[in-house]
Amino acid sequence: MDACLKDAYLKIDHVGISFSRAGTTSEVLRDVTLRITAGEFVSIIGHSGCGKSTLLNIVAGLLRASTGGVILEEHEVNEPGPDRAVVFQNHSLLPWLTVYENVALAVDKVFRGKRSRAERREWIMENLALVNMAHAKDKRPAEISGGMKQRVGIARALAMEPKILLLDEPFGALDALTRAHLQDQVMEIHARLNNTMIMITHDVDEAVLLSDRIVMMTNGPAATIGEVLTVNLARPRRRLDLVDDHEYNRCRAAVIEFLYARNRFVEAA
């Protein structure tokens, strides 16, 4: 293992993955190495199809790397676990359960036998309150908006007390205003809980606003990390204050330059 990976909280160590289908093998990721510190907010940005979700799924333990591996607090990741909760673009709530029951399902799975029924109930409500959804606890997913569903998905993930929260384009399906509101909420949650978050996004402003570091992926096949940008903006961050901020605009320009000048997207034939 590289010396620089030694003390990291999460280590993504020379990860590569190939998929084989009908006699052909496609190499999606090659030699992806990254260390993440506890409490860091890291965004992954790159063109469509470069392998961002594949990388997140390897960290989640949903996919096995073909080469290299992932280590979280000295333990190798080789299966999904409640220490790595994932929030997907499409909420993935169970439609026949209420908001409360959706969160309860995850909480009971992780904490049954460790916390009393009353403690679990309080914990579910605390997490719903964190995303301002306590008032809708008895509603079913079909009765609430897309933004509200994402908030419940975030509450469900946080309620598992994961070491790492993995966000796969969590706001991708939302309108711009709801998206901005949820970004602010995620920043507040991150400030309050100081948890480690990895988020995939296509949105340059979102990446700069939320992240401590932005990981920029090259285009596939055999995509890898092209550059890592540190965002030196004090927290708490307010989007209105950043409009004319020099560091904000420097980061924004650097990501745009990377994506549209140096790694232009070319649609596969």
Instruction: Return the residue of 11, 30, 52, 190 that touches ligand ATP, per CB under 6 A.
Output: 52
Helix, strand or coil, per DSSP, at residue 24: strand
- Which residue's CB is nearer to ligand ATP, number 96 or number 265? 265
Instruction: Return the residue of 10, 12, 15, 28 that touches ligand ATP, per CB under 6 A.
Output: 28
Question: How many residues are given for the chain?
Answer: 269
Instruction: Return the residue of 10, 34, 45, 50 that touches ligand ATP, per CB under 6 A.
Output: 50
Rounded CA separation 200/172 (Å)? 10
Rounded CA separation 41/119 (Å)? 29
Minimal distance in Å, beta carbon 242 to ligand ATP? 25
Number of residues this chain uses to bind ligand ATP (CB under 6 A): 11
Rounded CA separation 258/269 (Å)? 23
CA dist 40 → 116, 163, 199, 256 (Å): 32, 11, 11, 22
Residues numbered 207 to 226 that lie near ligand ATP (CB under 6 A) are none
Q: Which of 188, 189, 210 is nearest to 199 (CA)?
A: 210
DSSP string, 107-165: HHHHHBTTB-HHHHHHHHHHHHHHTT-GGGTT--GGGS-HHHHHHHHHHHHHHT--SEE
49 scored as a contact of ligand ATP (CB under 6 A): yes
48 scored as a contact of ligand ATP (CB under 6 A): yes
54 scored as a contact of ligand ATP (CB under 6 A): yes
Minimal distance in Å, beta carbon 59 to ligand ATP? 12
Residues numbered 137 to 196 that lie near ligand ATP (CB under 6 A) are none
Contact segment (CB under 6 A) with ligand ATP among 44-52, 67-75, 133-141, 205-213 equals: 44-52
- Which residue's CB is nearer to ligand ATP, number 57 or number 98? 57
DSSP assigned state of 201: E
- Which residue's CB is nearer to ligand ATP, number 98 or number 218? 218
Contact positions toward ligand ATP, by CB under 6 A?
19, 21, 28, 46, 48-54
